């Protein structure tokens, strides 16, 4: 055992008998089930070690699941890291995945030390008692869920900073299992998606919705209770007014959504985060039902997107304007892609033409009319590709005479065949339409610059 921490480490097999002995000899035990090849496991290790020094009344042990395979079978461990919390030799909680220190510490305090950190009603509440709470608190957030609901449990630690940041708001958690609380399912139309939130503002129910991300709770508070919105314009408007608004801004994002759509609601919440990160960027939100002219103006379908990266012009839909011209359009994409579009297309923080959904060979041949070209061939699941992307973008600003482009190989298979790409990332250097160099693998910025100097200068 290291002097730096109090974790007892089992890198080789620990027998089930020895494990049971540890549980019997210690009232409180936390077990870290990990593997050496698991990156999140290794990243979490310093947090686990730090907590072992702070909670000396708890026994912390780590077990390599590759060396001790019986533990995976016994506790049905299908993903790692997995943390097992034992109290008096009984398993009282399982935590899946690596978490921030504050989150993991919350479960130590509540599951092992028995601390009550949130206002929870587990024994049930009548509708009349609930009405009294609505009258008592001007701003009230109620989270409903059945007991032992895993998603609800994982969200609880994030309520603590929300309570600290919004002391004027009452947070209340109510379990639905009691017969006393069954009225709530019918009154608020609660189905089987939890946690389910009801928000009251001065007695008025302003939101009833399943929310599964702490940031979404924060943004619901900002909009529904504090009257803040990330949108410069968010209302019904004629097409002429829309054109006037767009012409007034250098950069703008238009978000077209559908009332009652979970996808639209999720992305609308995400735009609060965008507004925090890019506070000077105007955003316009329009509901398709209120503004039917949008269909013809942008050639939209009335169908809805069902997943990230899906092609088409369905709802919800984003349109990016620069100097009154459309520079990009897209359906739902992951946050990194969305913010990359802002930085590249609107703010011009880099000069890479990014083809996340493929590149036709004819278009590529047109690009090669530029005298100097570097093409980054990547996929979204390739970690070295992700790590080299900031370097590639930085170089695009530095070498303005070179055309930089990146292409997702999964959406442009012809590139792999044409240029014999068998590993990624791959970088192709072109001069006067001819490939003069090919590099496979990650490159540090200084080495990348040397290849530019050697091959394109």
Catalytic center residues? 38, 41
Show the CA angle centred on residue 197, arms to residues 194 and 199, nearest 5°: 175
Beta bridge partners of 144: 174, 196
Calculate the CA 126 to chain-centre distance: 37
Sign of CA dihedral 317, 320, 326, 330: negative
Residues 304 and 195: their CA atoms lie apart, in Å, by: 24
Residue bearing tokens 């703010």: 347
CA angle 337–342–345, rounded 5-degree value: 105
CA 352, CA 322: separation in Å to the nearest integer?
17
Number of other residues whose CB lies within 10 A of the CB of residue 225: 21
**What tokens were used for 421?**
């790409």
Element (H, E) at 286: strand 283-287
Count Cβ atoms within 10 A of the Cβ of residue 36 and give its class: 0-12 exposed, 13-18 middle, 19 or more buried: exposed
For 147, list phi and psi in degrees, rounded to 5.
-65, 150
H or E element in which residue 21 lies? helix 16-25
Q: Are strands 7-10 and 59-64 parallel, antiparallel or unpaired?
A: parallel
**CB distance 412 to 358 below 8 Å:** yes
Question: d(Cα 383, Cα 237) in Å, to the nearest integer?
Answer: 44
Backbone φ and ψ of 313, nearest 5°: -125, 60
The residue behind tokens 């369905």 is 314
Report the distance separating Cα 203 and Cα 131, nearest Å.
9
């Amino acid at each position: 055992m290291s002097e730096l921490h109090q974790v007892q480490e089992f890198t080789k097999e620990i027998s089930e008998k020895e494990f049971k002995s540890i549980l019997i000899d210690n009232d409180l035990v936390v077990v870290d089930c990990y593997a050496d090849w698991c990156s999140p496991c290794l990243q979490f290790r310093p947090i686990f070690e730090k907590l072992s020094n702070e909670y000396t009344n708890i026994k912390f042990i780590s077990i390599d699941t590759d060396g001790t395979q019986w533990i995976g079978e016994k506790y049905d461990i299908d993903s790692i890291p997995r943390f097992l919390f034992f109290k008096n030799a009984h398993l009282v909680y399982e935590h899946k995945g690596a978490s921030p220190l504050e989150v993991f510490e919350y479960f130590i305090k509540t599951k092992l030390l028995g601390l009550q950190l949130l206002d929870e009603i587990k024994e049930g509440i009548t509708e009349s008692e609930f009405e009294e709470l609505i009258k008592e608190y001007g701003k009230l957030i109620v989270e409903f869920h059945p007991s032992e609901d895993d998603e609800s449990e994982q969200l609880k630690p994030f309520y603590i900073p929300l309570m600290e940041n919004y002391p004027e708001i009452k947070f209340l958690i109510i379990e639905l299992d009691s017969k006393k609380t069954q009225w709530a399912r019918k009154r608020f139309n609660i189905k089987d998606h939890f946690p389910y939130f009801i928000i009251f503002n001065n007695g008025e129910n302003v939101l009833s919705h399943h929310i599964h991300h702490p940031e979404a709770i924060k943004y619901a508070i900002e909009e529904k209770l504090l009257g803040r919105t990330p949108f410069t314009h968010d209302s019904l408007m004629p097409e002429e007014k829309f054109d006037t608004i767009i012409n007034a801004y250098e950069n703008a994002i238009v978000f077209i959504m559908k009332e009652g759509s979970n996808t639209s609601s999720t992305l609308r919440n995400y735009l609060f985060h965008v507004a925090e990160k890019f506070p000077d960027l105007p955003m316009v939100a329009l509901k398709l039902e209120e503004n039917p002219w949008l269909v013809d103006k942008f050639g939209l379908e009335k169908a809805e997107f069902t997943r990230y990266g899906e092609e088409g012009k369905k709802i919800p839909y984003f349109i990016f304007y620069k100097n009154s011209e459309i520079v990009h359009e897209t359906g739902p994409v992951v946050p990194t892609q969305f913010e990359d579009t802002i930085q590249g297309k609107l703010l011009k923080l880099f000069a890479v033409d990014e083809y996340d959904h493929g590149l036709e060979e004819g278009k590529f041949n047109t690009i090669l009319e530029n005298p100097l070209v570097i093409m980054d061939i990547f996929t979204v699941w390739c970690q070295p590709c992700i790590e080299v992307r900031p370097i590639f973008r930085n170089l695009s600003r530095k070498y303005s005479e070179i055309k930089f482009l990146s292409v997702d190989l999964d959406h442009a298979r012809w590139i792999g065949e044409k240029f014999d790409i068998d590993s990624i990332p791959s970088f192709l250097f072109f001069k006067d339409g001819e490939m003069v160099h090919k590099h496979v693998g990650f490159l540090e910025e200084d080495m990348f610059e040397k290849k530019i100097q050697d091959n394109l200068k």
